[in-house]
Structure 1
Amino acid sequence: MITATDSGTAPADSTATGDGRGAVILNGITKRYGDQVAVDDLSLSIQPGEFISLLGPSGCGKTTTLRMIAGFEHPDAGDIRISGTSVMNVPPYRRDVNTVFQAYALFPHLSVAENVAYGMQQRRTPKAEIRERVSSALDLVQMRRFGDRKPTQLSGGQQQRVALARALVNRPAVLLLDEPLGALDRQLREEMQLELKLLQSRLGITFVFVTHDQGEALSMSDRIAIMRAGRIEQLADADTVYARPTSAYVAAFVGQQNFFRGEVVESGAAVNSPHAVVRGAGTALAGSSQGEAAVRPEYISIEAADATGAASAANTASGELIGVAHLGDTMQYLVRLGDDQSLIVRRPTPDAPVLRTGDQVTCTWAAHHVLLFPNDDSAEQGGYVAPPTA
């Protein structure tokens, strides 16, 4: 099995991955639209039965990559192998993949069962086999009792299940999903995330899932490929990309971070920002004069400025509390450190201090929760979020 590396790219010779049914190997694929490079020399090995997400902001190349696997776009360079066979000259309808889009594209004049059966009817599959496979596919998505209904009589979540059944009924080696949950409301989207992962685990089909929603990727994926400007910035499991991002871009895109920018000091172990000297406990910044330190809101403690608990903290910043929000299981505080930066703090609701807007507060956090990176101004082009300002 290929192990994800910090670079997030698979070796050019991907034979170690194996050529089992459902394996997908992208080897140096590039796609240009005129002068614009949408996908740039991208290599990736996907294991049979793996749930992998391509995550990134609009324009990063994730959907183009998915469309090249599906055969809807053709790479200008490189090779794509599915189940051990190159598909470079294979049309979409002959590839052992199916695609589920955000727009479900169900035929409104056909029943649910007829929608699911449509592809097999075009292939002249025997009627008895069609009935059996349609029933099985609808059972998988818990929609058999709705088989006689028209799509307009279904909710958005039910229509999405039908679209999944239509894709799964052909028993593809790889299922490609292009932001299929984007049209659903939050509660239904979260329910469908669980159902999708359970369905994939039960079927053992390779899922390649495209999304710009980090929550979807974190909750479902075996691995996440975070994309930036047509390349993979980091490829790893959810725990790794969240706790050990390899760049400021990944740190900002996955979860939420507070960033402090400034001069690198203390032999590369700290960043001297205008509002705090932020010290880390990990790898020092070697050879960088300017850097940025990142700390997640949930790792920061907050208390009234006249409290005594901050005396021994490695990192401290003080300011005015300008906002308090109840998020259910957490309380969120917004602290203005100065005219150019604010700090977001989140504490579990049962343990959250009682503070009011206008209070002077002190924020503290441990050095081992700090991530240090070289300055990366260009990351703003790919979804990098600068510190919030008041």
Structure 2
Amino acid sequence: MSTTMTTESGRTGTDPVEGPGAVVLDGVTKHYGEATAVREMSLSIEPGEFISLLGPSGCGKTTTLRMIAGFEQPDAGDIRVSGRSVLGVPAYRRDVNTVFQAYALFPHMSVAENVAYGLQQRRTPKAEIRERVASALDLVQMRRFADRKSTQLSGGQQQRIALARALVNRPSVLLLDEPLGALDRQLREEMQLELKLLQSRLGITFVFVTHDQGEALSMSDRIAIMRDGRIEQLADADTVYARPSSAYVAAFVGQQNFIEGALTASRDGIATAHGIVQATTARPDLPAGSVAQAAIRPEFVEVADASAAGEDAPTRPNLVRGTLIGVSHLGETMQYLVRVGDDLSVIARRPTPDAPRLAVGDEVVCSWRTESVQLFALDAAAAEAGYVEPPTN
């Protein structure tokens, strides 16, 4: 049975051309006892696409990857790889390879022997093994380390060898289960760029599992943001960041200032204890007077000394007055944490060259434009994720 899924990037999952590298999940469900890890998931991944499954622990992303790989079997639905159903097909017979966070290299083997291991198990001719191992090591720029033991390599070098070991089998689909999680920040950022360049050069399908939004945003053609075993939103990076489909996505991708209030009669703003928060886009699907959430990203919040606000400040929408309780230098930006009353904290980030020079304890005003405000139905989980606890002293 074919399912239809139209994403915000304009792609349609109806009867896709399932050539080499295509992956289709059709109504897939997976239970562990009474717990449901994946719920009726339908997803079409195009050949040569770099797609990320993004979400918190327990959302079902790794279970989804393991079902594609063949390490788990779905309880319902179908999975097709390169146009063929893989239900019941063991992992070693699928046209996929997997790279894990734990690289699982054999410490007693050289780099070349680690990469060659899978080919040897398949009884590939020795001459072909030598050629393919050299080619795979060239892809990850590790050929000069071929004779070293894996224990003599850095974390980043081990990650490259794990990639070469997966690529040497020439799969149509490469599955990556948080492979950068063990690396330090600088090396992780370098490897993000290398992975994307490698995928572009090879043209094979990458399915990447991560809980790190930065990784997903920087590398992916599309991102599937998962929640409770389902896909909450599927779109390109720009769409999920600028036009999240729900408060949950808004909270998980990037950072938000969430403010709760009663939806106004025009349904394009909320009334709060700190004033009106006004948006440009109304929510006719939500009843006037219902509790809703306004979301404003920190980079859209201006912060200034309260003396610059003017006498009409208390009546102006999209402006709150508070006390500056924290200033952080983040390199290219300055971050300000402002306490507003007893129940709200607002984060503002400004480019360092243009950032106002303010000190902790200053009375300030925070403001933002109407086009920077997004309105969502109340979501307790998103509110908790986006809330910044103000200090008690």
Q: Under a length normalisation based on structure 1, what TM-score does the superposition of the two structures give?
A: 0.95
Q: CA deviation at 1:132?
A: 0.5
Aligned to 1:207: 206
Aligned to 2:110: 111
Distance in 1, Cα, partners of 2:6 & 2:180: 27
Distance in 1, Cα, partners of 2:58 & 2:5: 27
1:340 to 340, 343, 351: 343
Q: CA deviation at 1:19?
A: 1.3
Higher mean C-alpha displacement, 339-348 vs 304-313: 304-313
Please give the residue correspondences for 1:266-281 in structure 2 after superposition, counting only pairs within 5 Å.
266-281=265-280
Task: Label 1:98 to 1:26 Cα distance change in 2 as closer, same or farther (>3 A).
Answer: same
Task: Label 1:389 to 1:337 Cα distance change in 2 as closer, same or farther (>3 A).
Answer: same
Distance in 2, Cα, partners of 1:387 & 1:330: 19
Please give the residue correspondences for 1:67-216 in structure 2 after superposition, counting only pairs within 5 Å.
67-216=66-215
Q: Does the residue aligned with 2:217 lie in a helix, a strand or coil?
A: helix
Distance in 2, Cα, partners of 1:386 & 1:302: 19
1:317 counterpart = 2:290: no
Aligned to 1:290: 291
Task: Label 1:352 to 1:121 Cα distance change in 2 as closer, same or farther (>3 A).
Answer: same
Q: CA deviation at 1:310?
A: 9.7
Task: Label 1:136 to 1:356 Cα distance change in 2 as closer, same or farther (>3 A).
Answer: same
Distance in 1, Cα, partners of 2:172 & 2:282: 42
Letter in 1 for 2:304: E
Task: Label 1:216 to 1:26 Cα distance change in 2 as closer, same or farther (>3 A).
Answer: same
Distance in 2, Cα, partners of 1:310 & 1:67: 60
What is the percentage of aligned positions where both structures have the same residue?
Answer: 70
1:355 counterpart = 2:358: yes
Could you report, residue by residue, the CA deviation over 1:85-107 in whole angstroms, capped at 9, with x for unpaired residues? 00002100000000000000000
Q: Does the residue aligned with 1:284 lie in a helix, a strand or coil?
A: coil
Alpha-carbon RMSD: 1.9
Could you report, residue by residue, the CA deviation over 1:333-381 in whole angstroms, capped at 9, with x for unpaired residues? 000002221100000000000000000001110000000001112446x
Aligned to 2:257: 258
Could you report, residue by residue, the CA deviation over 1:89-130 in whole angstroms, capped at 9, with x for unpaired residues? 210000000000000000000000000000001111011100
Distance in 1, Cα, partners of 2:10 & 2:375: 20
Instruction: Kindly indicate whether the alpha-carbon contact (under 8 Å) linking 1:10 and 1:43 is maintained by their aligned counterparts in 2.
Output: no
Task: Label 1:237 to 1:183 Cα distance change in 2 as closer, same or farther (>3 A).
Answer: same
Instruction: Kindly indicate whether the alpha-carbon contact (under 8 Å) linking 1:8 and 1:234 is maintained by their aligned counterparts in 2.
Output: no
1:300 counterpart = 2:301: yes
**Structure 2 unpaired stretches of 5+:** none
Q: CA deviation at 1:275?
A: 2.0
Aligned to 1:65: 64
Distance in 2, Cα, partners of 1:297 & 1:7: 25
Distance in 2, Cα, partners of 1:226 & 1:171: 28
| Aligned residues between the structures | 384
Could you report, residue by residue, the CA deviation over 1:26-85 in whole angstroms, capped at 9, with x for unpaired residues? 000000011100000000000000000000000000000000000000000000000000
**Structure 1 unpaired stretches of 5+:** none
Task: Label 1:33 to 1:379 Cα distance change in 2 as closer, same or farther (>3 A).
Answer: farther
Task: Label 1:293 to 1:8 Cα distance change in 2 as closer, same or farther (>3 A).
Answer: farther
Aligned to 2:52: 53
Q: CA deviation at 1:277?
A: 1.4
Distance in 1, Cα, partners of 2:149 & 2:117: 14
Aligned to 1:5: 7
